[in-house]
Chain A
Amino acid sequence: MNRTHDGMDWVLVCITLVLLGIGLVMVHSASSVISAQRFGDAFFYVKRQLLWALLGLGAMAWTANVDYHQWRRWAPHLIVVSFLFLTVVLIPGIGQNRGGSRAWLGIGSFGIQPSEFAKLALILFLAHNLEHNKGRLQSFWRGFLPPLAMALVVVGLIMLEPDLGQSVVIVGTAVLLLFAAGARLRHLGVLAGMGALGFAGLVAMAPYRMMRIVAFLDPWKDPLGKGYQIIQSLYALGSGGLLGLGLGNSHQKYLYLPEPQTDFVFSILGEELGFLGAAAVLALFASLVWRGYRTALYAPDAYGSLLSAGITGMIAVQILINVGVVTGSIPATGITLPFISFGGSSLTLMLTAVGILLNVSKQSVFPVR
């Protein structure tokens, strides 16, 4: 097979920048009404998002130039710092409670989410761990369970906030990573069975989660309560139609759709840009996933492969969950849409992660066409 050293994946850079641009435009459009309503400034959210984007691009540029093998050394330290933050955020008075979850650290509106940071730290750690113990992976107790246990400890801390969305993403990412690393399907099956049991337990603990599931199955059963958000999202998408109402012309952002700039920004995107716009964004995401796994395929070593697969898996899981919720395809779970939704921690983290991916691609050897 003829191979060549191809350098950094500029296609991935372009896709990322385009998505980031679309995100800034959509955050502004979706948030203008709520911004003006809350802060008397239609640009309140987009100005902050722009700052985070610049910060994130800086971080991306930095990580793209850091040899990804460095992360193997830093991973154990980062995971310890994550545990520290995840614990600190639970302390009332330090952690800020927004929308029912004590998930933010920081001053005023400039908050950061330790769970976002922990998510990346966990990927770095698991990639390292799985590569390091690859000989033992076929063993349930010595190979499969330790990395999983680590993930579950992180999830356990996040569930104390509680933040179901992040937890689901972390579990999903970890499972994808274990699958990619070559874990036995039988073990993954056992995990799935345990997961189902665990979920049943979580539902038993907090009944509102069950109500969210009910709302997903038939949102019109309780249109002003549990089904409200989904219905409003479907109204936005449905009234967008094939071509959309035009950029800036959403009606649902006029306080009908709650928090249109974060988890439900895709609804406003669908309303303003129509099916064609929304499908185009999904196509961009699909190419991003393709570029990420392509990097994993041609990474110079197993650690690089696993790191790329982990980061790509995380992005993919978030896209699927967010769009799944917005289209009423899965139960409501609060998670941001990568690169698009408003949210400093999420955006910075995503760009940082893409930077790592770019560094792997830089060292990969791709086949010549």
Chain B
Amino acid sequence: MQVTSRVIRRRVVTLLMLLLAAVGGLIARLAYIQVGQTQWLSGQAHNLWSRSIPVQGVRGTIFDSTGKPLVYTATAPSVLAVPAQVLDKGATATELAKVLQMPVDKIVASLQQHKAMVWISPGGRRITDTQAEAVRALHLSGIYITEEGKRTYPEGSLAAQVLGITGTDNQGITGIEKQYNSSLSGKPGYIEFYANAKGQRMPGTGEQYIPPINGNNIKLTINLQIQQFVEREIEQAVAEYHPDRVTAIVANPQTGAILAMANYPTFNPTHWRDYPPNTYNQNLAIWQTFEPGSTFKVVTLSAALQENKVNLTDKFYDPGYYEVAGHRIRCWKAGGHGSESFLNVVENSCNPGFIALGERLGKQTLFSYIKKFGFGTKTGIDLPGEGNGILFKLSKVGPLELATTSFGQGVSVTPIQQVMAMSAIANGGLLMKPYVMKEETNSVTGQVVQQTQPTVVRRVISSQTADLVRQTLESVVANGSGRSAYVDGYRVAGKTGTAQVAENGHYSNGHYIVSFMGMAPANNPRLVAYLAIDHPRPQNGVVFGGVIVAPIVGRILGDSLQYLQVPRSTQGQSKKFRYGDIPLYTMPSFVGMTIGDARRTAIESSAQIRTEVVGQGKYVIAQAPSPGTKVPYGQTIRLYLGGQVPQRPAVPPPVH
């Protein structure tokens, strides 16, 4: 054997060992990838191969508090194509064209689009169930039938700014639709399939259809009937006064539930794109901030009573102005109210009287009450876009700022803040958190998913103080500036407000926001109602809140309480008769009389009551309005007849 050969053999054996070791290394590397990392890598690969096309569920319905739909999604089957999944576009189009009665080339054009999914328009949109069945029966690859929905508003523009709007992708943009978007929209489903790198379906792999979960239904605290009363009144006010804006809220003071909320200008949510953006983007009732004016005096009054700084029978002299730090702040009434009690101060909404109360409280105490009543911070209502309002910084409050604040100038508040402050007075002193969502229910099972419980934010004043404030405010309506809000039998308590609007740093002449904040019945308020008119332009030129807004709020409260079947009461303060008011008469009882007797009594009464007969029989078994109701001259009474004298007086059905 040669030396070289031996070297070669040694080297060859070495090489063989080295190379086999290298192959062994590769096998180990393969084991690491294919066994060790297989889970992670195949997961990544799955994400790479699979294509998911989202399918939206049907958006939930929004109901009013009595279960009447305010907005729902009307669905109809529609044909959805996933172009990448369609294997033979020509044949698919031909088959579809027959069912959908559309030109073949138009369908081919849709199928050739480079999109994840396309609707077959227009023939394939909102088709009949028979057509949908026929398309399903074709079993075409990449062609799906899904429910396509459209938001439908059976009540038109009713509560439009509370409900809000939805966009093209079915997403809530404003209002409840935005606030509860995740609940309403449900969970999207998916069409999942494996695709090649060009997005075309991988042959031999299945597809998975994960159906969407429909959205939950939302029941609001908004009451359709009360909302309609409010919107009717707003319409009338707009027709009469041609204002810039109007805002109204009706709330249940015991819970903080909002029963009605409406604004002008408003919009029709079906065609919201045709309206200026601020109509559908802003809900004035929670967003707009302005000087409240005299409605704010309620806060000063409550603070002064709670802190024992005033006795309502105390005397006060109003010369027509109040001097603060060398400035004369005028009363709204030229020449002043003269000598009056503090009850009169409230009834007359006398500015100097309130400045005096403010001074007695001092800035620390007054501002602590303002904050306790919830001003300067959001109420936390479950609607998007709430405003904060602006208060003076305590360090910057001098005597002048204290004076103006005490009668509602120089502070900026939202309508909802005022309603919640008024509700605290109405419910015995508790500031509640307002809400509009009553409960969320599963749209399929009807099961309640969540329910809003009334939330107490804090106690603001004692229930005795609240009682006293309510009595005072009832007297404002019976005798004072709010007297046109008087509703007989429903003890309305309230406060007017007239605020001049500052424009460019100065109060503008002729531009006022007039408002009224009321509650009823005063002894145990069921409702708080607020309405503000921004820049009313009345014919006769009088723009005080008491004249313009008080009767509107009175009608809203009266109609709503009647609708809620709250019994009328005779316990309340009766209204003082002034020149120009219609005198009221007490309705006598006709029940148990024969029809002849009843008619005679009616004509002979001082009120010259007219009669109208319902039903047949000899005796009057019920009447409307009921006995004891205050009615104007010439009122018509409805008499319900029966065969026998009733054992007990029957309660007539509510009249609208």
Contact = CB atoms under 8 A, between A and B. Distances in A.
Contacts of B30: 237, 270, 275, 278-279, 282, 323, 327
B58 to A, nearest CB: 35
Given A254-B202, A255-B196, A289-B23, A302 B5 contact: yes
A134 B29 contact: no
A238 B33 contact: yes
B8 A309 contact: yes
A241 B46 CA distance: 13
Interface in A271-314: 274-275, 278-279, 282-283, 285-286, 289-290, 293, 296-297, 302, 305-306, 309, 313
Size bin of chain A's contact surface: 35 or more
B464 interface: no
Nearest to A327: B29
A199 interface: no
Contacts of B22: 316, 320
Interface in B67-111: none
A237 B38 CA distance: 8
Interface string A171-184: 00000100111100
A235 interface: yes
B47 to A, nearest CB: 10
B34 A270 contact: yes
Contacts of B37: 234, 238
Contact of B12 (A234, A241, A242, A293): A293
A33 interface: yes
B41 A235 contact: yes
Contact of B23 (A33, A240, A249, A319): A319
B15 A309 contact: yes
Given A251-B194, A254-B202, A302-B2, A323 B26 contact: yes
Given A235-B41, A256-B48, A134 B20 contact: no
Contact of B42 (A33, A179, A239, A282): A239
Contacts of B195: 254
Contacts of A241: 34-35, 38, 42
B35 A293 contact: no
A329 interface: yes
Contacts of A238: 33-34, 37-38, 40-42, 44-45
A182 B4 contact: yes
Interface in B9-41: 9, 11-16, 19-20, 22-27, 29-31, 33-35, 37-38, 40-41
A181 B8 contact: yes
A305 B5 contact: yes
B52 to A, nearest CB: 16
A324 interface: yes
Contacts of A346: none
B5 A234 contact: no
A286 B17 CA distance: 10
B198 interface: yes
B49 A290 contact: no
A252 interface: yes
B8 A306 contact: yes
Contacts of B11: 179-182
B2 to A, nearest CB: 7
A305 B1 CA distance: 13
Contact of A235 (B14, B20, B45): B45
Contacts of A255: 196-198
Given A251-B202, A275-B30, A296 B42 contact: no
A209 B29 CA distance: 24
B48 A305 contact: no
A183 to B, nearest CB: 9
A281 B233 CA distance: 87
B4 A282 contact: no
B35 A305 contact: no
Interface centre among B13, B37, B38, B45 (most CB of A within 10 A): B45
Contacts of B16: 289-290, 293
A297 B26 CA distance: 25
Contacts of A179: 11, 14-15
Nearest to B37: A238
A296 B12 contact: yes
A252 B5 CA distance: 49
A244 to B, nearest CB: 9
A176 B33 contact: no
B651 interface: no
A328 B26 CA distance: 10
A28 to B, nearest CB: 16
B196 A254 contact: yes
A329 B26 CA distance: 8
A242 B35 CA distance: 6
B7 interface: yes
Nearest to A308: B12
Given A242-B34, A309-B15, A327-B33, A282 B197 contact: no
A223 to B, nearest CB: 10
Contacts of A279: 27, 30-31
Contacts of B9: 297, 305
A305 B34 contact: no
A48 to B, nearest CB: 23
Contacts of B49: 251, 254, 256
B44 A235 contact: yes
Contact of B34 (A134, A275, A323, A324): A275
B4 A302 contact: yes
Contacts of A329: 25-26, 29
Contacts of A293: 12-13, 15-16
Nearest to A252: B45
Contacts of B4: 134, 182, 302
A210 B22 CA distance: 24
A251 B195 CA distance: 9
A286 B35 contact: no
A110 B45 CA distance: 35
Contacts of B26: 282, 320, 323-324, 327, 329
Nearest to B49: A251
Given A238-B45, A239-B45, A241-B34, A305 B202 contact: no
A305 B40 contact: no
A239 B38 contact: yes
A84 to B, nearest CB: 32
Nearest to B25: A329
B7 A182 contact: yes
B32 to A, nearest CB: 9
Contacts of B7: 182
A100 to B, nearest CB: 21
Contact of A176 (B15, B38, B44): B15
B1 to A, nearest CB: 10
18 contacts: A179-B15, A237-B41, A238-B45, A239-B38, A241-B34, A242-B35, A256-B196, A275-B31, A275-B35, A279-B30, A286-B23, A302-B5, A305-B9, A309-B8, A319-B23, A323-B26, A327-B29, A329-B25
The 5 closest A-B pairs by CB, nearest first: A238-B41, A254-B196, A255-B197, A275-B34, A182-B7
Given A278-B34, A329-B29, 10 more contacts: A234-B41, A237-B30, A238-B38, A241-B42, A249-B204, A256-B196, A289-B19, A293-B12, A297-B9, A306-B8
